[in-house]
Amino acid sequence: MKVDKSLKNLTLWLLFIPTVLLILGVLDGLLQVLFRAGWIQNTEALGIEYYQGLTLHGVINAIVFTTFFAVAFGNALIWYALKKPINLKVAWLSFWLMVIGVVFAAYAMLTGQASVLYTFYPPMKAHPLFYLGLALAVVGSWVAFWNWIPVYLQWRRENPGQKTPLAVVGIFATFIVWQIATIPVAVEVLFMLFPWSMGWTDSVNVMLARTLFWFFGHPLVYFWLLPAYVMYYTMLPKLTGGKLYSDWAGRLVFMLFIVFSIPVGTHHQYADPGIGSEWKFLHAVFTFAVALPSLITAFTIAASLEYAGRKNGATGTFGWMAKLPWFDTNRWLVPYLLVGLIIFIFGGISGIVNASYNLNLLVHNTSWIPGHFHLTVAGPVFLAFLGMSLYMVSKMTGKPVQLKGFATIVPYLWMIGLFTFSTGMMRGGLHGEPRRTNLGLTYLNPDSPFYRPEWEPYVIITAIGGILMFTAVTIYFITFFATFFSSAKEEAKLEFPLSEAYHEGPVKALANFKPWVTIAVVLIVLSYIPVIYDVLRSTTRSAPPYDPHNPAPLVQEEEEYYDEDFEEEEFEDEESAVIGEDEATNTEESATESSSDETQQTGAE
Whether 157 is a known active-site residue: answer: no
Contact 116, 55 (CB under 8 A): yes
Reduce the secondary structure of 529-575 to three states and give it as a string: HHHHHHHHHHCCCCECCECCCCCCECCCCCHHHHCHHHHHHHHHHHH
Asked if residue 174 has pLDDT above 90, the reply is yes
Which helix (H) or strand (E) element contains residue 44? strand 44-45
Instruction: Give the max Cα distance, the chain.
Output: 126
Residue 326's closest CA among 308, 299, 344, 348? 308
Whether 127 is a known active-site residue: answer: no
Of the options 3.40.228.10, 1.20.210.10, 3.40.50.2020, 3.40.50.10440, the CATH number for the domain spanning 5-538: 1.20.210.10
Give me the catalytic one of 436, 451, 470, 481.
436
**Structure confidence at residue 565 as a pLDDT band (50, 70, 90):** very low
For the chain, give every domain's residue range.
5-538, 564-604
Give me the catalytic one of 57, 218, 268, 427.
218
Whether 286 is a known active-site residue: answer: no
Helices (H), 165-235: 166-188, 194-198, 206-217, 219-234
> Picking from 191-200, 410-419, 493-502, 562-571, which range would have the lowest pLDDT averaged per residue?
562-571
**Structure confidence at residue 505 as a pLDDT band (50, 70, 90):** confident
pLDDT tens track for 230-259: 999 999 999 999 999 999 999 999 999 999
Give me the catalytic one of 145, 373, 480, 496.
373
Whether 172 is a known active-site residue: answer: no
Contact 76, 33 (CB under 8 A): no
Which helix (H) or strand (E) element contains residue 382? helix 382-397
CA 299 distance to own-chain centroid? 25
Asked if residue 599 has pLDDT above 60, the reply is no
pLDDT tens track for 404-439: 999 999 999 999 999 999 999 999 999 999 999 999
> Picking from 125-129, 219-223, 257-261, 558-562, which range would have the lowest pLDDT averaged per residue?
558-562
Helices (H) and strands (E) in the chain, counts: 23, 4
Whether 222 is a known active-site residue: answer: yes
**pTM of this structure:** 0.90
Average per-residue pLDDT in the chain?
Answer: 90
Whether 374 is a known active-site residue: answer: yes
> Picking from 12-26, 141-155, 541-555, which range would have the lowest pLDDT averaged per residue?
541-555
CA distance 301 to 244: 7
List all residues 6 or more positions away from 246 whose beta carbon is below 8 Å from its beta carbon. 300, 303, 501, 502, 503, 505
Give me the catalytic one of 50, 213, 222, 391.
222
Residue 294's closest CA among 369, 366, 350, 216? 350
Give me the catalytic one of 57, 127, 268, 372.
372
Give me the catalytic one of 36, 210, 374, 452.
374
> Picking from 265-269, 318-322, 561-565, 600-604, which range would have the lowest pLDDT averaged per residue?
600-604
Cis check for the bond before 123: say yes or no (omega within 30 of 0): yes
**Structure confidence at residue 454 as a pLDDT band (50, 70, 90):** very high
Cβ atoms < 10 Å from Cβ of 186: 17
**b/e per residue, 154-172, with b = 16+ CB within 10 A?**
ebeeeeeeebbbbbbbbbb
Provide the percentage of residues in the chain whose pLDDT is more than 90: 80
Whether 36 is a known active-site residue: answer: no
What mean pLDDT comes out for the span 293-317? 93
Phi-psi label, residue 76: left if phi above 0, alpha if psi -120 to 50, beta otherwise: alpha
**Structure confidence at residue 591 as a pLDDT band (50, 70, 90):** very low
Give residue 556's pLDDT. Answer: 62
Cβ atoms < 10 Å from Cβ of 14: 27
Asked if residue 507 has pLDDT above 90, the reply is no
Instruction: Give the 3-state secondary structure of residue 48.
Output: strand
- Report the DSSP pairing between strands 501-503 and 244-246: parallel
**b/e per residue, 86-122, with b = 16+ CB within 10 A?**
bebeebeebbebbbebbebbbebbeebbbbbbbebeb
CA distance 369 to 436: 10
CA distance 341 to 304: 13
Give me the catalytic one of 127, 267, 283, 435.
435
Residue 469's closest CA among 11, 31, 53? 31
DSSP string, 443-474: TT-TTSTT--GGGHHHHHHHHHHHHHHHHHHH
